[in-house]
Amino acid sequence: MAYETYYWSTSLMSKAIESQPDGEPLRAQIDHKLLCQVATDRDVAGKAEYYHALAQVAREQLARRWVETQHADRANKARRVYYLSMEFLIGRAMNNALSALDLREQAATVFTPPGPSLNEVMECEPDAALGNGGLGRLAACFLDSMATLGLPSWGYGVRYEYGMFAQSIVNGQQVEKPEAWVQDRSPWEFPRAGRHHTVHFGGSAEHSGDWAEWHPADSVEAKAFDHVIPGHGTDRVSTLRLWKAAAPSEIDLGAFNTGDYQRAAEFKNRFENISWVLYPNDSTSAGRELRLRQEYFFVSASMQDILSRHDDEYGSFDNLADKVAIHLNDTHPAIGVAELMRLLVDEHGLKWNAAWEQCRRIFSYTNHTLMPEALETWKVTLMQRVLPRHMLIIYRINHEFLDEVVRLYPGDIDLMRRVSLIDDGNGHEKDKRVRMAHLSIVGSHRINGVSQLHSDLMVQTIFADFARLYPERFHNKTNGVTPRRWLAQSNLGLSALLDERIGKEWRLDLDRLEGLRSVADDAAFGKAFAAAKRDNKLRLADYVAREVGVSLNPDSLFDVQVKRIHEYKRQLLNVLHVITRYNALLNGETAGVAPRSIIFAGKAASSYHMAKQVIRLINDVAAVVNNDPRTRDLLQVAFIPNYGVSVAELIMPAANLSEQISTAGTEASGTGNMKLSLNGALTIGTEDGANIEIRDQVGADNIFIFGNNTAQVAALRQTGYQPSELYQNDPVLKEALDKIDGGFFSPGERSRYHDVFNCLVHYGDHYLLLADYADYVATQARVDALYLTPAEWQRKAILNVAGMGTFSADRTIRDYADDTWKLQTLTNRGTAQ
C-alpha cells in the first residue's frame, strides 16, 4: 500500500478510537486522571499532581497513536530505520506532546488563576538528560523529524538511571550531583514487560569454520522501556526504545532463598550497574570496561529486537537488508556490526558471506568529531575478555578486508597498517587496540560528516585512506534542529509574529522563513520583532536574577556562549574579550561601546581540570566586573548553572549575539549556532563547522566572521606558532593576560590561574586563542557599532531568521532517508503546533 493510503487509513482509525474518551473537554479529562491515576482532586491538587494528570491525558493519546503506527508499518511491510545512539538528550516531553496532540492552546485555558499556570505545571517535569551535548541532542531532534516525516523509525538507547549530572556553582566552582531523572516513575515511558533479551558477556569462544560456539560467563537481562515520540501535523509517531539492565530473574533466587539478602542485593547490583549512569564525557573516550559493557549491552538487545521483529514479519533473514537500515550515531554502537554477524551466523545459521553482504547494506555511520582523543579504540585484551566471540569476528572481518586492500594496492604494507581494524601496538600484545571507526567504515555502505567543512576534512585527514578505497561511501549531511521545539514551543512571541506574516506552515516547512526577506526593511515589523526579543530577554533576566543573583539590563546586548566547556570551543577567548572590554572601560574608553551582558552556560566533564578552571575564572571575573560601579552600566557577566535542554529553551530566544568561536577545523558542526540564529541572534564566529553554511545562507554582511581559517590554522601550526610573541607585542592582550596570571580576579589565591596563563603563553596555546584574539576584539567593536544602530541590527537579525530554512532537522532527515537509508518519507498534512 502506498504511504499516502496508509496515512489516511491510520488517520481515520485514529479518529474512531480517539473519539471515545476524548470527546470530553480537556478539563474533564484532567479531572478524571487526577482521580483515577493520581488519587486526588482539584481542591487539593498541587502543580506536580496536575502535571501527572495532564501527562496521563497525553499519554493515552500517544499510546493510541503508537498502536496505530505499528499496525500500519506491519500492514505495509515497511522498511524501517533504526537509529542506534548511546545518547538521547530529550529534555522535557510535555510541551512537545501537547503541541503535537494539538492540546497546547486548550491546556493554557484550563490552567488559570487561582490555580497554577500551564508553565508552572510544565516546569514540574525533570529534563530527560540522557546525553552529554551536541550528539545526544541531535539524536532527539532527529527522532522528532523522523516522526514528523512519517518515517517508519525507531531510536534505540540506554535507559540510564542517572543521566547527565546536575551542575551547581559553589564559590565559583562547578559542583556535580547525580540526577535521577525518572525518580519513582515517568509518565512518558511504557515498560514493555514482554520485551526483554538476554545479553551475554565473557567466557570463551571456539571457532569451527563459519560458525563458533560462545560459552559466556555472565548474562544480563535487557528490559525495554518505550518513549513515544509524536510527529507534528501527523498522527504518526516514532519510538524510542531504551534498555534497562536487570539480573536474570532465576539467578539471585539461590541467595535469596537462603536468606542471604545482602549477597542477593550485591548480585543484583552487579548486573544492574550496566545501565546506571551516563558517562559524562563528550569528547574523550573513557576506555573503561563498564563503558564497553554498556555499549554492547544496548547494541545486543537492540539487534536481537530488530531481528525478532523481522523474523515475526518474514520468517526469514534473506530479505533483511531490504527491510532494515541501521544507523550508528558515532562509533559508540559500532560493535553492532560484529553482533549482527554473530547473530546471523551463530544463532540463525547464515553463511558468513551472505551475512556480510547484508551487513554492509544495512549499516551506515555518522562521524561527529575529528578530535583524536575522541576516536574510540578498545584494548584487544579487554575486548577478548568481555566479548571473546566478537573479537574473533572482528579478526575475520579485518582479515578479509585487508585481503581486499592487498588486491587493490599490492605491497603497500604501510597502507594496510594504517587502515587495519587493529592497531598493532608496535608489536606489543598488550598495546593492541580495536579501532571502532575503522570497524564502522568497513561495515557500512554510507559514512557521513555533519557539516560540509567537517565532511571535507574527514576525507582529507582522519579517513583519507578509506576515502581512497571507498570514495562512493563518503557523504555530507549537514546537521539541523527541530523548529518545533527550538522556535514554535520555546519562542511564542516570535512564532506569533511569523504566523502573522508568513503563515503557520513554517513549522513543517522551514524554507517558508524565506518569506521574511521582504519584510526585513519594514519598520513596523522590525519594531514588533525587537519587542518579541525584548520580552524574551526580560524572561531570561528574571531567571538570572533568581538563579544567579545578577540583574541584567534587558536593553543591553545579550551576548551568549552556551555549550559544553572545552578548550577547543574557546570560552577562554571570550573571557579575554570580557577582560579587555573591562580594562578599556576603566580607561574611560566608553565611546561607541554598547552596554553588554555576557552570558555563559555549560558543563565541564568532571575530570577535565582546564575546563573547570575556565568555569571558575568566568565566575571570578563576573564577581569583580559585576561589583564595579564604574563599569556596571556597560558590562555585566553571568554564568547560568546547569545548562541543559530546558535552560537552553530559555536562553536561545533571548540572545542577541551568538558566540561560535571554536578554532577553525575543530567544531564538527555545532547545532546551538543554528538554534540561536533561528531565534534572531547574529553570529560572531570563526570559519568552522556549520558557521560557514550559516554565512552562505544569511549573507556575509549579516554575520561577523573573524580569525584564522582552517588552512591558516594549519599553516600557523606548521611554521611554528609563537604565542609568547603575541603576548609580548600586544599591550592590550598582555594586560588582560597579566590580570589573570597576577591574581587580579582571585585576590585570595593569586596563583589560581597560573596554569591557565601558562597554557596560553608558554605551553603552545594549542587552540590558537592568541592568534585570533586581535581580530576577535576588533570584530566585537563592530558588533557594538551595529547594536547602537537598532534598525540596522534588527534588519540583519530578521535576515538571519529568514536564512535558517535549510537548518531544519527535517531537511537533514530527508537527506538521510533519500540517500542513506533509502526510505520513503510521508508527506504531512495539516499544520503542526
Residues near ligand 26W (CB under 6 A)? 132-135, 138, 281-285, 330, 368-369, 374, 376, 450, 479, 667-671, 689
Beta bridge partners of 326: 82, 363
User: Closest CB to ligand 26W among 369 and 677?
Assistant: 369
Q: How far apart are CA 16 and CA 11, in angstroms?
A: 9
Do residues 434 and 378 touch, judged by C-beta distance below 8 A?
A: yes
Of 97, 102, 19, 90, residue with least CA distance to 51: 97
Please, is 389 exposed, middle or buried when counting C-beta atoms within 10 Å of its C-beta (0-12, 13-18, 19+)?
Answer: buried
Do residues 411 and 440 touch, judged by C-beta distance below 8 A?
A: no
Beta bridge partners of 277: 162
CA-based angle 449:451:455, to the nearest 5? 40
User: Closest CB to ligand 26W among 450 and 617?
Assistant: 450
| Residue 671: active-site member | yes
At closest approach, how far in Å is the CB of 790 from ligand 26W? Answer: 32
At closest approach, how far in Å is the CB of 501 from ligand 26W? Answer: 30
At closest approach, how far in Å is the CB of 161 from ligand 26W? Answer: 19
User: Closest CB to ligand 26W among 33 and 332?
Assistant: 332
Please, is 400 exposed, middle or buried when counting C-beta atoms within 10 Å of its C-beta (0-12, 13-18, 19+)?
Answer: middle
At closest approach, how far in Å is the CB of 450 from ligand 26W? Answer: 4
User: Closest CB to ligand 26W among 135 and 579?
Assistant: 135
Q: How far apart are CA 796 and CA 764, in angstroms?
A: 38
Judged by DSSP in three states, 45 sits in coil
Torsion of CA 152, 158, 160, 165, to 10 degrees: -90
3, 48, 632 from 62: Cα distances, Å: 21, 21, 50
At closest approach, how far in Å is the CB of 807 from ligand 26W? Answer: 11
Beta bridge partners of 561: 600
- State the catalytic residue, choosing from 52, 473, 485, 563: 563
User: Closest CB to ligand 26W among 490 and 671?
Assistant: 671
Alpha carbon 294 to chain centroid, angstroms? 19
User: Closest CB to ligand 26W among 284 and 381?
Assistant: 284
Alpha-carbon radius of gyration of the chain: 27
At closest approach, how far in Å is the CB of 451 from ligand 26W? Answer: 8
At closest approach, how far in Å is the CB of 565 from ligand 26W? Answer: 13
- State the catalytic residue, choosing from 433, 564, 577, 795: 564
User: Closest CB to ligand 26W among 343 and 370?
Assistant: 370
Do residues 718 and 763 touch, judged by C-beta distance below 8 A?
A: no
- State the catalytic residue, choosing from 454, 477, 485, 675: 675
Cell of 741: 596570571
- State the catalytic residue, choosing from 478, 482, 666, 671: 671
Characterize the bridge pairing of strands 80-84 and 153-158: parallel
| Residue 782: active-site member | no
| Residue 683: active-site member | no
At closest approach, how far in Å is the CB of 413 from ligand 26W? Answer: 30
Please, is 655 exposed, middle or buried when counting C-beta atoms within 10 Å of its C-beta (0-12, 13-18, 19+)?
Answer: buried
Cell of 533: 526579543
Q: How far apart are CA 467 and CA 413, in angstroms?
A: 18
Number of residue whose CB is nearest ligand 26W: 134
User: Closest CB to ligand 26W among 305 and 667?
Assistant: 667
Q: How far apart are CA 727 and CA 732, in angstroms?
A: 9
At closest approach, how far in Å is the CB of 457 from ligand 26W? Answer: 12
| Residue 368: active-site member | yes
User: Closest CB to ligand 26W among 631 and 710?
Assistant: 710
At closest approach, how far in Å is the CB of 563 from ligand 26W? Answer: 9
CA-based angle 315:317:319, to the nearest 5? 105
Cell of 691: 558557521
Q: Which long-range contacts (CB under 8 A, 24 or more apart) does 496-505 make?
A: 496/532, 497/525, 497/528, 497/529, 497/532, 501/525, 504/831, 505/831
- State the catalytic residue, choosing from 368, 566, 752, 796: 368
At closest approach, how far in Å is the CB of 527 from ligand 26W? Answer: 34
User: Closest CB to ligand 26W among 144 and 282?
Assistant: 282
Please, is 195 exposed, middle or buried when counting C-beta atoms within 10 Å of its C-beta (0-12, 13-18, 19+)?
Answer: middle
Q: How far apart are CA 499 and CA 490, in angstroms?
A: 15
Of 216, 475, 175, residue with least CA distance to 342: 216
User: Closest CB to ligand 26W among 49 and 282?
Assistant: 282
User: Closest CB to ligand 26W among 134 and 231?
Assistant: 134
Q: How far apart are CA 572 and CA 134, in angstroms?
A: 20
Please, is 182 exposed, middle or buried when counting C-beta atoms within 10 Å of its C-beta (0-12, 13-18, 19+)?
Answer: middle
- State the catalytic residue, choosing from 569, 577, 603, 739: 569
At closest approach, how far in Å is the CB of 474 from ligand 26W? Answer: 16
Catalytic site positions: 368, 563-564, 569, 671, 675
